[in-house]
Structure 1
């Protein structure tokens, strides 16, 4: 700890004072049309042009500067400026097509001065706001899905709270191993813990879907481990979202859309605007309001499967399904309403001090549904009062009911800070706060428990409410940062700093009827015994140095020490290097790092009963045991430890001509003591163990818990290329080809089963769990984009190839597994710029209406026999699709939209 205190002392001593900013402003155009994302730089200071081609570059000191204006596929423009203190100059630039220059300045990857994406020793992707909006996707995470090959996100069917926030991941590593930054500062995690059998199971991540695309200036994605630079959660990489800082211009965009089947209508309006604060400050704000209607894609339910599962007569089942072939199930894309607000601001407050900050608030409401309770599932004979509760038939008769699941999400974040500079030292001092709260409502349900009151009446059943408040969860954090950098010479740069972070996780208790005696049918509320607020804090420090031994050879090294209040110390380091030769046409780069991921408070303290789909058994109630609970001690469960990782990356960058650039990067990530949510552990054959007693006492079919259960290795290749050599009418056809291929994603060694699980002959990671971790993501993914602009028109065709996935659903017969087939999804975007201020955009996403398709595969003679037995295979299909309710995607979810073609239209007015 003394070393950390010493770093903090140095950071405080180095706080200096600063100079008034000198500014160069202007626009960058090509034949009169604005160029978005062009880089304007002076040494290590730079900026990129906004949506209308404008830029503002602030320089810290008076003096003479050589400015460079660069953009991929264009010649570089240079101009020298001599600026007095506080002086502002204008430079309007007309770039000429013909050269490829990838020197876009990026912040992530090193704590020293920013470098370009090609001179950085690490693989970094940069995407502008325009890159995201041309996808036609309504949310930020879905836009990234069709821009970044190593990024995947899925929308899961009927998984309760998961409908509020879709899981995402980089390089198949889960949502919790990618650190999200806003303007370089850590964003708060979501309150949601994924506990269902879906991608991201057992993890949590930041809600990136809550960030409005119109507020984003650019996105930097570091595809490399970065725990040494940024701390926990950066094992797979870092995503830095840079907010717009334009003070002069604004825009308003109206959006609408619908699926080709006539549902899922979407409406939205987004306003982005900026203004000056005094002579040296700015404020930029975004308001985004949107709504997406329900899109329903149920399957045709199997009568034989239903009769077998629910013990009903085939005649009763067939009679119901003749009227309602989909068993009135509702699954697909839920109704979602969102309000998003973002503000970014900054100002020079003295000659040597700049004040900056940003804030955001998001409210999201999602209305989704549980599985429909058919009249042969919840029968009137067993529950006579249901006829009065749910008279849903045409003549007021009971024909079942569908419980609703309504989620309310509130997410906020804010940062304030001071940036100072003196004698070459730059100090950045900031405070960040943020939080995410998710609360739920269950309606159109009942508590069916038969507990009697003292007077002999039922406490619930016919006396049950039909609306329930099951509670929810909340996560908040407060983060303080001090970061200090200095270029000691043209060859050496250093950085050091510290971070203090406190975190709070709250389980919000539900009302009594929502959890007592089984609680609401479909979703049980939080018991007060499992509720409360849990917290921890950590303190960390780092030191970073970059050595440019020559203009071509660079070495960067970082060390970090963290101390957590609940599990102690973590020490990690990183070394990276880059070497250029052949007149900068070839660049070699590599890095090696160690990393860690602390167990989240969600993973340590979540304990609840939850409804879950168990193939062949229908909906069951299982228990999730907190690792810090009394029950965990009775079971002898070990305390959670941080994950530890090693990450090796090596790559090559090629620029054989001015029109072609290629980068290829290999990565290899080993994670030890990987944190997982165990599979469902059931009763033992003996029936007399502590495990059996716990299940019986709590009326549970099974239980699960968190454990450091696996060591894993993930390896693959990322490929990115750009070509502008095809020219028509003095304009280039831009071809972008990128891809990700997974070479290895597997467990190393044996599963680490606690004694109580091993002695029961069970495992914390069964084939279903391991498939979720290792094979349920696309084995490869490729993106081919074609972009061409002429006069007032622009066209973009984007093709995304989703590779095959494999899954082994729980309960599937031995020798069988399922495979989602390789599919190519094509998106079309058309833009018409009617005037300089007004433009129209039309998108046809998944224009050829490609839908997910899966099939059974065999891995043994027993599997081959099943493939040749149509009746047996139909039973297996019913098993994993809940009798065909989820025939398109099974319970694993899917890897692109099951909604088919989606048409969207937008109109943008700039002012």
Structure 2
């Protein structure tokens, strides 16, 4: 009997035997290949959406296997599968589709799903492998481009306002620099605590620091309104603290804007609109298209031009004898003694009511002048609402496969905006001619007293915003590497016209430098911010249970305050908006280096644990180490998902907050327009006052939620969040010091914000020949308040209200959409809950509440052909306007409300004598423009 190893050990074939063996072996391989080929078949085709657009990046998987491909830039695919295989087609924002592979060519049309799909794959919220919403441990909203355009809103930020309940933004009553960028926030946390990403890379901050007494005071954020909506494929909003994953600014969450990638099937969209009042006309045109680059690359580009005209909503000014102008301030007494007034013969001098009455009795033009002016201009010439805005936006997004495992990608955007707004009208009884200012009649009239009707300074802002990313991705032995460099910047420069420098400065010859020699056009300067960010991200799926990710980020930041021309800041400066003084202007910079490590462990198919740790070092205030732990558990065949996270976070003070020092004009109730200042924390003045330098905010974030998909067409999520912020950075109250009436930033106190987020969808309900779908989403604020004593600053009830109660305490969006034939109908009802203010000058025994309102939006689309679609949106269909009323804090407040005269006095104080009757001087909770009609035409190439 032969030994087992006999052949291998002792048999030595000769040359002919060797050739025979090789031939038989080759024949065997051929037969195996033939049988394999006969057992498999090649399937090819094209995947499109229901409007005929090709869909690149669609995943096609042979069901039950790991065999899969993705569609190319033209929506084409090719895959080899076994006989009898089932192909599964899936794409973010579209219904999953399965097809038996019985034909050689299978073309597929995917239908868009309405609302959030728990099975959508998201790339936000993890630094390891992407996961679906079901398998993610974090709450993430996904909005498609269709979701955004269906709102009919003119800009990206306003579209989010009517799609995401925890997202709020509104135009401030007094515009000036704020007209270039409205403050926005998620979960009432301020604009600086939401990190904005574009294709996963950090977007630059705006250079604007909000300093007006309005929501968002003391904050800055990225200009998301600058992003053209037609360039967006989808938006992923992570509603959870993510500093450990993404760094500073992610305390409230992360918004990741994913750009379109299609290389063909472009479209041009023409939009027009107008308000029911016949103003605010809007006209815009946008082109989105793409092209292939070589055989393996794509380039998508968007060009967007728009112009929105002024929509003016002034109030009717109260012309009573005790309400003569915005420089009035309260005093107890009789009819004329209710106020201290500006002396009409000396605008820089205040007199009591009796003296004023005597003066005006002697002044033949006094009361008659006021009444005559208000008869001609009942709104006192005031202009407030939505300013005229012109914008040009350009964006590209591209990539090219260098090999099967490497890719070069890039994107870039440039935006120019020009905004024209107005300051408060300087009425002739406020800025009087005699005896100090007779030259005003020459500047704003024909030189005669009768021709002088006062003047309204204009404010023009020019904004330039850009961002660009160049990156390289590779996959080798399962290791995914992503290296990128990102740059971005924002610059704003201002112009003030129809104004004057009223300073009584004189030259060496005793001649006035300003007053009658003043220019009427000023260049008050501006601000600029830019950053450069380098990222290295590496990830690998180590096994079917463990995946890791790690990387680093290097960032440099530069902030500049641009000096204004001398006439704009010298003396008291330009009326309405004083320029940046030389000593307050300059350039500042810093850098930081961060590193993170992320580990995801699938304990079982249903149970996931994810942990992240991050450390960052800043050149100006030191380092911070934060961490995050999250988990998810699925059961009942993935119908129920429990999820939760616990994390720490941080937010570095912005360069704007550290270095801004300026004199500003602002309204002080009862004292009119006053000049006050902001001193920065690194100034000699700050050292004298004992103000410490700013440090980072620290946070602890807890999120617990449940996601459920009881059926194919019904899903919902409910998430509870609790955010504690320590050493919160705030711009405090103005205080009288040896340096004048000034305010400053400080790490002032700790705060806590908690609430609930709810999202529910029910789709594909058969109704007649069409399908009906419903969405319900809401945010409820349970707690939003200061939880510690105030240090290093003064923080009164006015700022407390602006920070904690000036956004809706609850907001809900109930929508329905119905598609039948070529028509689509949608109705959205947005419920804005109560907001509360404590305006400057308001009696301490009162508060101001904006009552809850429901804003209804109607949308109708008509697909005339496969290429042409018409859409009509009627926003605020029922013309609902903000409405506020006084509420008593106590018995003393009740007594005030029972006295009509006192109520009138309080109302005049906080509305600038009814100039801002709808919204008060500090703000409101949704747009005051009323019904808006928007019509768009979309033509696909």
Q: Same fold (TM over 0.5)?
A: yes
Contact map agreement 2:129 2:539 (CA 8 A) in 1: yes
Q: Residue 26 of structure 1 aligns with which residue?
A: 46
**Cα deviation 1:64-120 (Å, max 9, x = unaligned):** 9964426779564267899xxxxx997524669999963111111100111111211
- Give the superposition deviation at 1:586: 1.0
- The alignment status of 1:330 with 2:367, answered yes or no, reads no
**Structure 1 residue aligned with 2:305:** 289
Report deviation, 1:220.
0.3
Q: Does 1:605 align with 2:648?
A: no
| Superposed displacement of residue 729, structure 1 | 3.5
Using the TM superposition, give the Cα deviation of residue 33 of structure 1 relative to its aligned residue in structure 2, in angstroms: 7.2
State the shift of 1:27 in Å: 2.5
Q: Is the contact made by 1:68 and 1:79 (CA closer than 8 Å) also made in structure 2? A: no
**Cα displacement string for residues 763-804 of structure 1 (whole angstroms, at most 9, x for unaligned residues):** x21000000111111010000111111111111111100000
1:585 to 639, 644, 652: 639
Change (3 A) 1:232 1:100: closer
The residue that corresponds to 1:818 in the other structure is: 848
Does the C-alpha gap of structure 1 residues 475 and 65 become closer, same or farther in structure 2, counting only changes over 3 Å? farther
The answer to whether structure 1 residue 706 and structure 2 residue 745 are counterparts is yes
Partners of 1:131 and 1:161 in 2: how far apart? 30
Quick one: which of 218, 237, 261 aligns to 1:245? 261
CA contact 1:245–1:345 (8 Å) conserved in 2: yes
Quote the Cα distance in structure 1 between the aligned partners of 2:98 and 2:218: 51
Shift of 1:456: 1.3
On the 8 A contact 1:66/1:81 being kept in 2, the answer is no
| Superimposed CA distance per residue, residues 440-477 of structure 1 (whole angstroms, 9 cap, x where no aligned partner) | 00000010000111111111100100000000000000
- Residue 370 of structure 1 corresponds to which residue in structure 2? 423
Q: Please, which of 210, 217, 231 is the counterpart of residue 215 of structure 1?
A: 231
TM-score by length of 1: 0.90
Is the radius of gyration larger for structure 1 or structure 2? 2
Residue 36 of structure 1 and its aligned partner are, at CA, apart by 9.0
Note the 1:414-453 alignment, pairs <5 A. Answer: 414-453=468-507
Contact 1:37–1:71 (CA under 8 A) maintained in structure 2: no
1:437-516 matches, cutoff 5 A: 437-516=491-570
Q: 1:100 to 1:466 in 2, by over 3 A?
A: closer
Match of 1:827 in 2: 857
Q: 1:867 — aligned with what? A: 897
The Cα shift of 1:536 comes to 0.1
Q: In structure 1, which of residues 850, 854, 862 is the aligned counterpart of residue 884 of structure 2?
A: 854
Does structure 1 conserve the Cα–Cα contact (< 8 Å) formed by 2:442 and 2:448?
no
State yes or no: 1:739 paired with 2:784: no
Q: Which residue of 2 aligns with 1:687?
A: none
* Distance in structure 2 (CA, Å) of the matches to 1:191 and 1:560: 27
Aligned to 1:19: none
For the 8 Å contact 2:301–2:395, the answer to whether it is kept is yes
Could you tell me the TM-score, scaled by structure 2's length? 0.87
Cα distance in 1 between the residues matched to 2:939 and 2:177 = 37
Distance in 1 (CA, whole Å) between partners of 2:193 and 2:535 is: 21
Q: Aligned pair 1:694/2:739, yes or no?
A: yes
Distance 1:58 1:606 in 2: 58
The superposition leaves residues 223-278 of structure 1 with CA deviations (integer Å, 9 ceiling, x where unpaired) of: 00000000000000000000000002100011111000000000000000000000
The aligned counterpart of 1:617 is: 671
Structure 1 counterpart of 2:295, from 272, 279, 286 = 279
Q: How does 1:59-458 map to 2 (within 5 A)?
A: 67-69=88-90, 74=95, 76-77=97-98, 91-93=107-109, 102-304=118-320, 305-307=322-324, 309=328, 310-311=341-342, 313=360, 314-381=367-434, 382-391=436-445, 397-458=451-512
Is residue 2:729 matched to residue 1:675?
yes
| Residue aligning to 2:838 | 808
Task: Structure 1: state its 5+ residue gaps.
Answer: 1-21, 83-87, 683-690, 696-701, 755-763
CA distance in 2 between partners of 1:99 and 1:623 (Å):
47
Shift of 1:396: 7.2
Q: CA RMSD in A?
A: 2.7
CA deviation digits over 1:570-622, x for unaligned, max 9? 00000000001111111100000000000000000000100000011110000
Q: Judge conservation of contact 1:370–1:522 (CA < 8 Å) in 2.
A: yes
- Aligned in 2, Cα 1:47/1:616: closer, same or farther, shift over 3 Å? farther
Q: Given that residues 535 and 553 in structure 2 are in contact (C-alpha distance below 8 angstroms), is that contact kept between their aligned partners in structure 1?
A: yes
User: Which SS does the other structure have where 1:513 is aligned?
Assistant: helix
Of 596, 600, 603 in structure 2, the residue corresponding to residue 549 of structure 1 is 603
- CA offsets 1:290-329 (integer angstroms, 9 cap, x no match): 0000010000001135327244544432221111110000
Aligned to 1:759: none
- Structure 2 distance, partners of 1:653, 1:177, is 26
* CA-to-aligned-CA distance 1:527-549 (integer Å, 9 cap, x gap): 11111110000000000011111
Residues 856/55 of structure 1: CA separation in 2 closer, same or farther (3 Å cut): farther
Contact 1:99 1:659 in 2 (8 A): no
Q: Secondary structure at the match of 2:192?
A: helix
Q: Distance in 2 between matches of 1:436 and 1:863?
A: 46
Call closer, same or farther: CA 1:37–1:860 in 2, change over 3 Å.
Answer: farther
Of 125-134 and 301-310, the range deviating more from structure 2: 301-310
Q: Structure 2: how far apart are the matches of 1:101 and 1:209?
A: 26
Q: CA separation in 2, counterparts of 1:326 and 1:44?
A: 70
Change over 3 Å in CA distance of 1:621–1:25 after alignment to 2: farther
Q: 1:799 to 1:57 in 2, by over 3 A?
A: farther
Q: Secondary structure at the match of 1:307?
A: coil
Q: Which runs of 5+ in 2 are unaligned?
A: 1-41, 80-84, 329-340, 345-359, 361-366
Q: Deviations over 1:801-838 (max 9, x none)?
A: 00000110112112100000100000011101011111
What does the per-residue CA deviation read over 1:500-534, in whole Å, with 9 as the maximum and x for residues that have no partner?
Answer: 00000000000000001111010010111111110
1:55 deviates by 4.7
Residue 620 of structure 2 corresponds to residue 566 of structure 1? yes
CA 1:747–1:533 in structure 2 vs 1: closer, same or farther (change >3 Å)? same
Contact kept, 8 Å, 2:485 with 2:533, in 1: the verdict is yes
The 1:479–1:374 alpha-carbon spacing in structure 2 relative to 1, beyond 3 Å, is same
Structure 2 Cα separation of the partners of residues 259 and 330 of structure 1? 16
User: Size of the alignment, in residue pairs?
Assistant: 854
Cα separation, 2, equivalents of 1:100 and 1:889: 34
**C-alpha separation between the residues in 2 aligned to 1:460 and 1:440?**
21
Aligned CA distance change for structure 1 residues 80 and 895 (closer, same or farther; 3 Å): farther
> Which deviates more from structure 2 when the two are superposed, residues 822-831 or residues 392-401?
392-401
CA distance in 1 between partners of 2:463 and 2:404 (Å): 42
How has the CA–CA distance of structure 1 residues 45 and 525 changed in structure 2, closer, same or farther, with 3 Å as cutoff?
Answer: farther
Structure 1 pair 108–24 and aligned structure 2 pair: CA distance change class (3 A): farther
Q: CA deviation at 1:657?
A: 2.1
SS, match of residue 817 in structure 1: strand
Counterparts of 1:197 and 1:98 in 2: how far apart (Å)?
40
Shift of 1:753: 3.4
Partner Cα distance (1:564, 1:875) in 2: 51
Alpha carbons of 1:361 and 1:35: their partners in 2 closer, same or farther (altered >3 Å)?
closer
Residues 788 and 135 (structure 1), Cα distance of their counterparts in 2 relative to 1, 3 Å cut: same
Determine if contact 2:481/2:538 at 8 Å carries over to the other structure. yes
Aligned mates of 1:395, 1:90 — CA distance in 2? 83
SS of residue in 1 equivalent to 2:802: helix
List per-residue Cα deviations over 1:605-654 (Å, max 9, x = no partner): 00010000001111000001011111111111111010000000000112
* Structure 2: distance between partners of 1:835 and 1:445: 54
